[in-house]
Amino acid sequence: MIVLDKENRVFTLRTKNTTYQMKADQHNVLIHTYYGPRVGDSDLSYLVRYADRACAPNPPEAGLDRAYSLDTLPQEYSTCGVGDFRLPSIEIEYPDGSRAADLRLTDWEEERGKYTLDGLPSFYGEEGETLRLYLEDRAANVVVELSYGVFEDRDLITRSVEVHNYGSASVRLRQCASLCLDFQRSDLDLITFDGCHMMERAPSRAPLRSGVQGVGSVRGTSSHQHNPFVVLCDREANEDYGLCYGAMLLYSGNFQALVEASQYDNARLVMGINPSHFCWTLEPYGSFTAPEAALVCSPRGFGQMSRQFHRAIREHLIQDPCQGERRPVLINNWEATYFDFDADKLVEIAKTAAPLGIELFVMDDGWFGKRDDDNSGLGDWTVNTGKLPGGLEVLVPRLKELGMKFGIWIEPEMVSEDSDLYREHPDWALRIPGRAPARGRNQLVLDFSRPEVRRHVYERIKAVLASADVSYVKWDMNRSLTDVYSAALPAQRQGEVYHRYVLGVYEMLDWLRRDFPHILIEGCAGGGGRFDAGMLYYTPQIWCSDNTDAIDRLRVQYGTSFGYPVSAMGAHVSVTPNEENGRITPMETRGVVAMSGTFGYEMDLSRTAGEDREVIRRQVAFFKEHYDLIQRGDYYRLTDPFQNGPYTAWEHVSPDGREALVSLVTTSLRAAPSFRTLRLKGLDPKRTYQVNGEGRWPGDVLMEAGWPLPLDLFQGDYRSLQLCLSEV
């Protein structure tokens, strides 16, 4: 709900549990007055304090009032060069070389429905509301348009920024953040989600200290190393207690999230496109749109925050071609065959998988061009008929006869130097003139900032997809961007290439969704290197990590769950010993972990023992039976795998509280194990439940007293347990 006090120019955004408020003060500076647990519609600007601070400049309108300084005010969108020395949200370079921004509120408007962004991902929904505020730098004829989206039931507030140049000369945008959030306190912890390839999104928590701290990426993607999602919280906040703020950027390229604790114990969070390597020229009457950011404030800990993000992403961000129907369980041939396959080998794997209830066969890398290893072929998107005689037109019907749908792997953004495409168009790759390029996985990056490059690649892939009944596409991207230079742009606009590249990826994904609306797209970037809300707008699921070891995945999926729902996490059962770390894990446990994701298998099932095949058959049937509960239920983290306890546990609860599924994996053993009791969450305390079809257990008892874990669970490496709760 949006509440406007036009007379006093107070703007209040209300959700079910939170209040967000701004006000234009006596000098038309838009100050931030409050964001926190829901309160009434009072003018909260009384919380803003004024004092004469030495060395704090005063704007000209303040006259002799030395207590009024931009350097001490909580601002809604921070400026630079005119008296605020803290983190800026925007920096503009003018024709004379000066850099400043002095923004004052001039107008506002309210709209029904949630705003959309041209060429960028955003939350959507007619039930949302939009508030637009217009700030002007009159000396520069620049207007900054702040848009706010409000989803009341989801406690979600979104923000976006559009900059308009109404001057007669071009200006250069050096920084344009999507989010600025000022706190009149600094006794907060910052949580970021960090890691590396194969061990992504581990929570890192530290108290704010004086100065600037944060995370970012200059890799061209959101990256394995840092995620564009951060949390600020009370020092004592945990899963169920304490005030916390989650901030998520809907962007898949270079980003930055910085927090500054100031000299007067205030804090400022600024989040958006990383200003490193960024410079955008705004022609007269031109505009620039920054990516959307989303906020959730939870007065009741991380769990409530996560569940609100999960619901909002599932209901108002992901555009799922399955439209509420169950997504198929898949088998991927990569770890079974790598590049060494032909049509008969693929069909043999499918013949083993289909009787087990697996419904989708995904053909991974190696099906196109001259592609027998990772040194050649990328960019030549034509079917290798030596491996697949007759092309997909022959292979796909053979799989359909087995009752299986067909999916295919692509890596559209990359090119091999040993390819027909590169030989014909070497200037289509990102390369700095006069320099030998860096390579990753023996490949270069195509210049997706250029429309003709995107169109050429898309038309080739489109022809392949149109040649057969394709149900699924895995869109991969296996290296960071280097040598970022576009042969199509002049020198003074090279600072636009990174962002134009991301916009190009989004445009091509839009084409793919438009032309093949029935195809389910899974994103991937060396695993989880581009696991962000921007990609989820186009790809309903993302390969969570190239690490398929079930025990490592407990940590990866735990950290990912703070911001992103289970339904978005690509997760598969793979072979044991695991090919990455050699760990031996029971088939039952590998299935328990993978089904807390999109669920599938990445192995040669023809080589599995008979008893393992029977386990797989049961796993697939169990997942299908509990699909709605797992994929659309509320998610509860019961333990923290980074605490190195004896087990990791999590829980899915149906929205109506009538069903729940508890999953647990043991992670350490000792002689003479302790008696342990697991306390559940999210149940209706007034309902009575059966556990695995037996007994009668009140919900409050299971949550407060708990469920005793059997001792034999701790006898054997990496055992697992699942408890199915249903209302009696």
Q: Contact at 8 Å (CB) between 647 and 635?
A: no
Tell me, what's the pLDDT at 213? Answer: 98
> What does residue 651 show for φ and ψ, rounded to 5 degrees?
-150, 140
> Vertex 327, ends 641 and 520: CA angle to 5°?
105
Distances (CA, A) of 365 to 330, 407, 409, 536: 16, 12, 6, 22
Per-residue pLDDT tens for 42-85? 999 999 999 988 888 999 998 889 999 999 999 999 999 999 99
Question: What residue ranges in 356-487 does DSSP mark as E strands?
Answer: 360-363, 405-410, 414-415, 444-445, 472-475
Q: Which residue is catalytic, options 84, 155, 447, 476? A: 476
User: For residue 30, what are its two tokens?
Assistant: 């838009």
pLDDT at 673: 86
Q: How far is Cα 511 from Cα 429, in angstroms, rounded to an integer?
A: 21
If one compares 33 and 607, the residue with the highest pLDDT of the two is: 33
Half-sphere exposure of 425 (CA within 13 A, CB side): 19
| pLDDT band at 323; cut points 50, 70, 90 | confident
pLDDT tens for residues 356-415? 999 999 999 999 999 999 999 999 999 999 999 999 999 999 999 999 999 999 999 999
Distance of alpha carbon 484 from alpha carbon 242, whole angstroms: 44
Average pLDDT along the chain: 96
Q: What is the pLDDT of residues 271-302, one digit of tens each?
A: 999 999 999 999 999 999 999 999 999 999 99
Over residues 4-29, mean pLDDT: 96
**pLDDT recorded at residue 303:** 98
Distance of CA 375 to the CA centre of its chain: 30
Per-residue pLDDT tens over the stretch 306-316:
999 999 999 99
Q: What pLDDT sits at residue 324?
A: 82
- Known active-site residue 418: no
Q: Does residue 506 surpass a pLDDT of 90?
A: yes
Tell me what pLDDT residue 432 has.
Answer: 97
Residues 503-519, mean pLDDT to the nearest whole number: 98
pLDDT of residue 8: 95
137 is catalytic: no
pLDDT digits (tens, 9 = 90+) for 423-441: 999 999 999 999 999 999 9
**Phi and psi (nearest 5°) for 568?**
-95, -10
Stretch 326-349: mean pLDDT: 94
Report the interhelical angle of 497-515 vs 451-466 (nearest 10°): 30
CA distance 261 to 250: 25
Question: In which residue are the tokens 């022809």 written?
Answer: 463
Cα–Cα distance for residue pair 164/150, rounded to 1 Å = 24
Count of C-beta atoms within a 10 Å radius of residue 644: 9
Q: What is the DSSP string of 295-317?
A: EEEETBHHHHHHHHHHHHHHHHT
**For the residues 634-653, what does the mean pLDDT come to?**
97
Task: Tell me the domains of the chain and their CATH numbers.
Answer: 2-316 (2.70.98.60), 330-634 (3.20.20.70), 637-727 (2.60.40.1180)
Coil, strand or helix at 681: coil
- Cβ atoms < 10 Å from Cβ of 539: 25
Which are the contacts of 595, defined by CB distance < 8 A and separation ≥ 6? 571, 619, 622, 623, 630
Q: Which of 102, 182, 194, 546 is catalytic?
A: 546
Where does the pLDDT of residue 674 fall: very low under 50, low under 70, confident under 90, or very high at 90 and above?
confident
* 192, 204 contact by CB (below 8 A): yes
> Pick from 406, 410, 397, 487: which is nearest to 450 by CA?
487
pLDDT class of 458 with cuts at 50, 70, 90: very high
User: What average pLDDT does this structure show over 151-161?
Assistant: 97
Report the pLDDT value the prediction gives residue 671, as an integer from 0 to 100: 85
State the CB neighbour count (10 A cutoff) for residue 595: 26
Q: How many Å apart are CA 161 and CA 179, to the nearest integer?
A: 8
Who contacts 425 (Cβ-Cβ below 8 Å, separation ≥6)? 453, 456
Distance CA(600)–CA(330), nearest Å, equals: 5
Residue type, 461: I
Q: Which amino acid is at 326?
A: R
Rounded mean pLDDT, 580-606: 95
Q: ∠ CA(497), CA(499), CA(504), 5° rounding?
A: 90
What is the percent of the chain where pLDDT is above 90? 94
CA–CA gap between residue 289 and residue 119 (Å, rounded): 9
What is the per-residue pLDDT for 610? 86
The stretch 693-704 carries a mean pLDDT of 97
> What are the helix (H) ranges across 406-496?
420-424, 451-466
The two structure tokens encoding residue 638: 């019961």
Tokens of 543: 């390969």
Strand order in the sheet with 472-475: 569-570, 541-543, 520-523, 472-475, 405-410, 360-363, 330-332, 600-602, 573-574
Q: What share of the chain is helix, strand, coil (3-state, %, to 5)?
A: 25, 30, 45
Is the predicted pLDDT of residue 253 greater than 90, yes or no? yes
The burial of 96, by beta-carbon neighbours within 10 Å (0-12 exposed, 13-18 middle, 19 or more buried), is given as exposed
